[in-house]
Structure 1
Amino acid sequence: MNYKSVIGLVCFIMLSGCVNPTNTIHAKTSQPAAIQPQSTGIKMYFGLSIPTGGVVTPQQWQQFESNQVANTFTGFSVADSVGYYKGKKEHAKVITIYNASAADIKAANKLGKQYAQLFNQDSVLVVLIDVAQIQFVTKD
């Protein structure tokens, strides 16, 4: 094999690894309306410890969830979490949203900023997640 053939083969092998098999599979098969391949999810981590002392109370969180979060997103889930921030154990709320649009991502960042200002937080962690497939299982 000559030099150009080796380079061509290496490029072919490298580029073939860039193909997303999930997209290829979905492009060849028909999907029921309830299955949506390749979407974006959002996870938001809201710390409940206030750096200057104290905590966000369950009542304060519930008010924030009901007034700001529920009025911002069509659907979401909330889970209790325990993590560490700056070496200290901290309780948190994790909000998860799937099928997130560009508007949802923008709203998540705005909501994180509101929470940080309201409860004197250093930050709110907003994570974008690549979701391979979303499927809504119905009663039918």
Structure 2
Amino acid sequence: MRFLNTAICLLAVTLIGCASTSVTETNNSMVASSSIVASKSDGIKMYFGLSIPTGGLITAQQWQKFESNQLAQAFTGFSVVDAVGYYKGEKEPAKVVTIYNVSKADIESANRLAKEYSRLFNQDSVLIARLNVAQISFVGKE
């Protein structure tokens, strides 16, 4: 629940200027019925592995430094989720960074940061998935 509140706040910072949205149930599906912040928005998800190929893990302090000094400086708002993935058959802790409403400059920054992270922590790669989001809206308590 705490992460959800943080993610919503970060998304709100990214997409300033939205009005409250109400939701109605129609034909067993939820439909937003007021302001849509963005339609046909681009987004990205970045998958940062925390295992070092030569052994060991990227520490919480190392990740926090990268997050604060690199990610937070490059993007207006983003969400970070702890994840577990598999790479080359091995289980690996990871961080997933999601950014919505991205610009061309954001995509360039993501590519630059992926290269920097790979260099800093001897990673084979950072996965960047482009998202074609049909609609972004905020659903409030009203």
Runs of 4 or more off by more than 2 Å in structure 1? 31-35, 136-140
Q: Which runs of 5+ in 1 are unaligned?
A: 1-30
For 2:141 and 2:70, the matched residues in 1 are separated by: 31
Q: Which runs of 5+ in 2 are unaligned?
A: 1-32
Which aligned pairs between 1:24-43 and structure 2 lie closer than 5 A?
34-43=36-45
Which residue of structure 1 lines up, in the alignment, with residue 128 of structure 2? 126
Q: Give the percent of matched residue pairs that are identical in Structure 1 and Structure 2.
A: 65
2:43·2:100 contact (CA, 8 Å) conserved in 1? yes
Q: TM-score, normalised by structure 1?
A: 0.74
Report how many aligned residue pairs link the two structures. Answer: 110
Question: Structure 2 residue aligned with 1:45, among 35, 47, 59?
Answer: 47
Which aligned pairs between 1:58-73 and structure 2 lie closer than 5 A?
58-73=60-75
Which aligned pairs between 1:97-136 and structure 2 lie closer than 5 A?
97-136=99-138
Q: TM-score, normalised by structure 2?
A: 0.73
Matched to 1:106, the amino acid is E
Structure whose residues are more often strand by fraction = 2
Question: Structure 2 residue aligned with 1:81, among 80, 83, 98?
Answer: 83
Deviations 1:7-37 (CA, angstroms, capped at 9, x unpaired): xxxxxxxxxxxxxxxxxxxxxxxx9665211
Which protein has the larger Cα radius of gyration, Structure 1 or Structure 2?
Answer: 1
